[in-house]
């Protein structure tokens, strides 16, 4: 019996008002050759994520020009944004000198 047929039998038990114990007892009595106690599939070990990261991405029609990742625990305020734009100004003058303001 495949899993789909087994699931149909379990649904049948619940539709008849049987609880889990009664359903297992009935399945064991009616289908003794089926192994119900298959081990659960093993899951891989989980790792704690690094958390949320704020990225500022500045681009133009030709692609990404500048990416900046905000340090953990900092917030974007006027001082941070001014420093970001200053670093962007330097970066754009290096990558695309024809766009540099005179």
Average pLDDT rounded to a whole number, residues 6-27: 80
Burial of 58 (0-12, 13-18, 19+ CB in 10 A): middle
Whole-angstrom Cα distance, residue 93 to residue 87?
10
The conformational region for residue 16 under phi > 0 = left, psi -120 to 50 = alpha, else beta, is alpha
25 in Cβ contact with 35 (< 8 Å): no
- Determine which helix (DSSP H) or strand (DSSP E) holds 69, and give its type and residue range: strand 63-69
Q: Among 18-22, 30-34, 70-74, 87-91, which is the least confidently predicted range?
A: 30-34
Q: What pLDDT is attached to residue 37?
A: 58
49-59 pLDDT, tens digit each: 767 788 999 88
User: What number is the average pLDDT over the span 81-91?
Assistant: 92
pLDDT of residue 8: 81
Domain map (residue ranges) of the chain:
1-38, 55-99
Q: What is the mean pLDDT of the chain?
A: 81
């Amino acid at each position: 019996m495949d899993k789909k047929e087994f699931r149909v039998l379990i649904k049948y038990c619940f539709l008849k008002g049987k609880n889990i114990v009664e359903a297992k007892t009935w399945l064991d009595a009616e289908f003794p050759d089926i192994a119900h106690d298959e081990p659960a599939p093993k899951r891989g070990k989980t790792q704690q994520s690094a958390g949320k990261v704020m990225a500022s991405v500045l681009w133009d029609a030709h692609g990404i020009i500048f990416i900046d990742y905000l340090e953990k625990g900092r917030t974007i305020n006027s001082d941070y944004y001014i420093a970001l734009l200053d670093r962007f100004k330097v970066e754009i003058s290096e990558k695309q000198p024809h766009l540099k303001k005179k």
